[in-house]
């Protein structure tokens, strides 16, 4: 058993008894080796200071991934997760196309824009969607690097985007130019450090592409013909890991405050799996 002591107040010392394996499971010390096991101060700021938040940022290529959500006129038509550092989002015609018209770089994992379903109804907007899709052939390529996630436009159709690390306003992705930084890992790291130290606003882990139409932060995305929401699971996991550890620490704090002896012991037992 491992006796973990921490301070409930200036005059009280509280403790938790855990086996080394249990403490690893509860506190996640394998992911956050800088967590001190012997002292857990009372204030939120001091608790957060137990973490070296530089260790909270993952940047190795094998940890990069994308969750791609495609909406037509506000209705979700595609949800696909891609592991790796590259993904191409494009429209492929239903009819077989000759080899010369197949987009280059098809070795990338692809997320295809589907044909509109009848459930979208009829009308001018649906006709506009049918007209727009062929212009999205060749699509957009997203690439994750050590510095962030970049986008490069290959399609004829216009592409606009919004993200948590860009200035407010209109952002257009041009063709035949250098890739555009859509999500900065350095900025995310800084936001995570602030979140760990002070709490407050949760770091955002996604950005948005709009095909064929202009898009700003104030626009209603459900009114757009094609919206592609890009979520970053690796970033979400970092935020969730920190929140989970802080919930564990706060739970121990509450239990210790309720104990007359300011000390309690956790007995963790395995739960048998259902047959």
Q: Tell the residue number behind the tokens 């459900």, with chain if given.
A: 222
Could you give the residue ranges of the DSSP H alpha helices within 16-101? 20-27, 44-48
Q: What is the set of domains in the chain, with CATH numbers?
A: 2-42+239-258 (no CATH), 61-231 (2.60.200.10)
Segment 34-79, tens digit of pLDDT: 333 333 444 444 444 444 444 444 444 448 999 999 999 999 999 9
- C-alpha R_g of the chain: 24
* CB neighbour class for 72 (10 Å; exposed up to 12, middle 13-18, buried from 19): buried
Q: State the number of CA atoms in the 13 A half-sphere of 40 facing the CB.
A: 22
- Side-chain-side CA neighbours of 208 within 13 Å: the count stands at 19
Query: What is the reported pTM?
Result: 0.71
pLDDT at 260: 72
What is the length of the chain? 275
The secondary structure element, H or E, covering residue 197 is helix 185-198
Q: State CA 274 to chain mean position distance.
A: 32
Confirm if 161 and 215 have CB atoms less than 8 A apart: yes
The values of phi and psi at residue 57, to 5°, are -100, 120
Q: Is the pLDDT of residue 181 over 90?
A: yes
pLDDT single digits (tens) 109-165:
999 999 998 878 778 889 999 999 999 999 999 999 999 999 999 999 999 999 999
Q: Is the pLDDT of residue 108 over 60?
A: yes
């Amino acid at each position: 058993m491992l006796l973990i002591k921490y301070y409930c107040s200036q005059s009280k010392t509280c403790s938790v008894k855990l086996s080394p394996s249990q403490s690893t499971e509860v506190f996640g010390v394998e992911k956050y080796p800088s967590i001190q096991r012997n002292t857990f101060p009372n204030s939120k700021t001091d608790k957060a200071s137990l973490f070296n938040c530089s260790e909270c940022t993952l940047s190795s290529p094998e940890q990069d991934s994308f969750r791609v959500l495609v909406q037509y006129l506000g209705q979700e038509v595609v949800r696909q997760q891609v592991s790796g550092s590259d993904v191409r989002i494009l429209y492929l015609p239903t009819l077989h196309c000759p080899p010369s018209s197949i987009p280059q770089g098809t070795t990338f994992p692809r997320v295809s824009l589907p044909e509109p379903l009848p459930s979208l109804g009829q009308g001018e907007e649906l006709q506009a969607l049918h007209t727009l899709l062929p212009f999205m052939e060749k699509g957009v390529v997203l690439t994750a690097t050590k510095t962030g996630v970049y986008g490069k436009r290959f399609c004829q159709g216009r592409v606009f985007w919004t993200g948590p690390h860009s200035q407010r306003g209109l952002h257009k992705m041009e063709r035949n130019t250098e890739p555009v930084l859509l999500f900065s890992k350095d900025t995310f790291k800084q936001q995570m450090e602030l979140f760990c130290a002070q709490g407050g606003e949760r770091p955002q882990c996604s950005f948005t592409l709009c095909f064929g139409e202009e898009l700003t932060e104030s626009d209603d995305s459900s009114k757009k013909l094609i919206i592609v929401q890009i979520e970053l699971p690796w970033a979400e996991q970092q935020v969730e890991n920190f929140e989970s550890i802080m919930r564990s620490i706060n739970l121990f704090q509450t239990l210790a405050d309720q104990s007359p002896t300011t000390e309690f012991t956790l007995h963790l037992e395995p739960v048998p799996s259902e047959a």
